[in-house]
Amino acid sequence: MALNLRKLSHALGAEVCGLDVSKPMSEAGFGEIYQAFLRYNILLFRDQNITREQHIEFSRRFGELDRHDALPRDRHPRHPEILMVTNEPKPDGAPSDTKYTGRQWHSDMSFTLVPSLGSLLRCLSVPEVGGDTMFANMYLAYETLSDGMKRLIAGLHGIHLSGTRKIANTETGVPRAEEQRRINPPVAQPVVRVHPETGRKALYIGEKVKRFEGMTEEESKPLIDYLVAHATRPEFVYRHRWRKDDVMVWDNRCTMHLALGDFDETQLRHMERTTVLGTPSGRVAQGA
């Protein structure tokens, strides 16, 4: 099949127009989608009125799915392949565990030893305005660094932490942060990684990185801040305004993203995400 693609921005992203992901798809047809995924880093599919089962089935075309054992509070109780991203309160009125999910620049599951290949996020409910997500092209972030900076960071490993998101209140936050540290000890990931399929180098940094291996937080902070600011320059970024029934897939190996809290939080923002497992990477950080 010939895909009808519309670019989303100069930096990255394309919309796949007129395709229903719930319909049967040949290997060759999916192969075209996957090649577009590698080329554009992000693919958008609009108007996908699909079930959770169809969401999971389409996601499996990209690879084996994470069952989110690293985030047990956040997954759907009957579909562990689905991670809930919602501000809808719990039945007892307590704040959602995922109310603030994604409010830092990050790459999904970077704090584990099998970081994500890709993520597929489905929008079920969106506020009247806002609730946008921003994406950054980490190929461009790396390629536009000076040769001197490339040499400086070539051997560095960043310590990626789980449980660094904002928490709705202290009572919820303390046990959750302790639980996350127990389940997911800090992981050292290379600051520069090579995409296993394209062979291109990408910057691997984000706001979950608090220091470099072998360095203190105070020593690390100026360089981390510079690299994150550089990677998120406007010319490297796409900002997505969600519509109900959008499905967005992105390549975590060459992008990072940020969920914006630019909306009235009395209005519902409900998303559901599947996460495709990637190749093993990194090591448990020593002395973290």
Q: Return the beta strands (E) in the chain as ranges.
A: 5-7, 14-16, 42-45, 82-86, 116-125, 133-137, 157-160, 187-190, 192-194, 201-203, 209-212, 237-240, 247-251, 255-259, 270-277, 283-284
| Six token digits for residue 178 | 């302790």
- CB burial of 56-91 (b: ≥16 within 10 Å; e: otherwise) equals bebbebbbebbbbebbeebbeeebebbbbbbbeeee
- Residues labelled catalytic: 106, 108, 257, 273
Classify residue 29 as exposed, middle or buried by CB count within 10 Å of its CB (0-12, 13-18, 19+): middle
Classify residue 22 as exposed, middle or buried by CB count within 10 Å of its CB (0-12, 13-18, 19+): middle
What counts of helices (H) and strands (E) characterise the chain?
Answer: 6, 16
Q: Return the beta strands (E) in 54-200 as ranges.
A: 82-86, 116-125, 133-137, 157-160, 187-190, 192-194
